[in-house]
Amino acid sequence: PPLLALEGLCVAAEDREILHGLDLEVGSGEVHALMGPNGSGKSTLANVIMGNPAYRVTGGRIRFKGEDVTDWPTDVRAKAGIFLAFQHPEAVAGVPVVQFLRQAMAARAGEDRSVLEVRFAMRDWMTRLGIDEAFAQRPLNEGFSGGERKRNEVLQLALLRPELAILDETDSGLDIDALRIVAEGVEAVRAENPDLGILLVTHYRKILDLIRPDVVHVLVDGRLVASGGEELARRLDVEGYEPWRS
Ligand code: ADP
Ligand code: MG
Ligand code: MG
């Protein structure tokens, strides 16, 4: 079975349907870009795959490696190997980065991780991602700049070693140098885990020059209106999303 399969997925939040019957498959080792204008439902999709209880599946299902995970709670999905890098990572007051990562890594592995192990694993990736060592002791995302938050999400991706990673606008708010560092980080994670499947949510093409997608999907008003290769992203750059609106 594919790594991820959405079958006629309908999703609502607060009594309003946002996603109207999505079909999508992501295989192991594949990169799928999900593009679409603001408000089209990209983050809703990212969140519902992760099991965010703010969103209700009102039709269809989500399969992960063939298993129906539609009703699984978030922590069970995370343990199984699904990872979401948030569009707007939130601050966690009083919890230092190192402690947060230790808990997340232990949850993913199903056994405790020592502080030393976590520090050791972190050090290498923090260097690669250009994150200052002092960050390990700072409360998660508290006072972090936009770019620092995004790098920190990629650090989590690297350390948690998921099988499916959803990156929700990990490119937004980054200057060109930070974008390159983040993209290189994601590529380094892929090099270590060639089976990692990625759903890369973006509305800019730039990151797709650095992380080349196998498939590009276009989401407009809660519907997938097109799928294709990289040429589709180039076309969106020229024509915008307007031609896809009904
Ligand atoms: P995108 O990520 O493509 O910009 P979103 O998924 O954030 O789109 O939003 C899609 C639509 O769903 C928007 O109209 C937004 O206001 C609405 N929406 C998203 N999340 C919620 C929520 N938790 N409750 C109510 N409406 C929501
Ligand atoms: Mg948005
Ligand atoms: Mg969004």
Is residue 123 one of the residues assigned to a domain? no
Q: Determine whether the shortest distance from the Cβ of 42 to ligand 1 is under 6 A.
A: yes
Q: What is the pLDDT of residue 32?
A: 98
| CA-proximal residue: ligand 1, atom 1 (nearest) | 39
Domain count, the chain: 1
Range of the domain at 71: 4-87+147-244
Token readout for 11 is 């999703």
What spacing in Å lies between the alpha carbon of 109 and ligand 1's midpoint?
32
Q: What is the pLDDT of residue 146?
A: 87
Residue-wise pLDDT tens digits, 77-117: 999 999 999 999 988 888 999 999 999 999 999 999 999 99
Is residue 161 one of the residues assigned to a domain? yes
Residue-wise pLDDT tens digits, 59-68: 999 999 999 9
**What protein residues have CB closer than 5 angstroms to ion ligand 3?**
42-43, 87
Q: Determine whether the shortest distance from the Cβ of 39 to ligand 1 is under 6 A.
A: yes
Ligand 1 pocket mutation, candidates 44, 171, 201, 224, criterion most atoms within 8 A of CB: 44
What spacing in Å lies between the alpha carbon of 200 and ligand 1's midpoint?
17
Cα(73)–Cα(69) distance, integer angstroms? 9
Q: What is the pLDDT of residue 61?
A: 98
Cα(111)–Cα(108) distance, integer angstroms? 8
Is residue 62 one of the residues assigned to a domain? yes
Residue-wise pLDDT tens digits, 131-173: 998 999 999 999 888 889 999 999 999 999 999 999 999 988 8
For 158, phi then psi, to 5°, come to -65, -40
Q: What is the pLDDT of residue 244?
A: 86
Q: Determine whether the shortest distance from the Cβ of 44 to ligand 1 is under 6 A.
A: yes
Tell me: pLDDT of 6 over 90: yes
Residue-wise pLDDT tens digits, 184-227: 999 999 999 999 999 999 988 889 999 999 999 999 999 999 99
Is residue 135 one of the residues assigned to a domain? no
**What's the predicted TM-score (pTM) here?**
0.96
Ligand 1 pocket mutation, candidates 9, 43, 199, 223, criterion most atoms within 8 A of CB: 43
Is residue 99 one of the residues assigned to a domain? no
What spacing in Å lies between the alpha carbon of 195 and ligand 1's midpoint?
30
Is residue 92 one of the residues assigned to a domain? no
Is residue 117 one of the residues assigned to a domain? no
Is residue 199 one of the residues assigned to a domain? yes
The CATH number for 168's domain is 3.40.50.300
Residue-wise pLDDT tens digits, 23-35: 999 999 999 999 9
Tell me: pLDDT of 12 over 90: yes
| CA-proximal residue: ligand 1, atom 7 (nearest) | 43
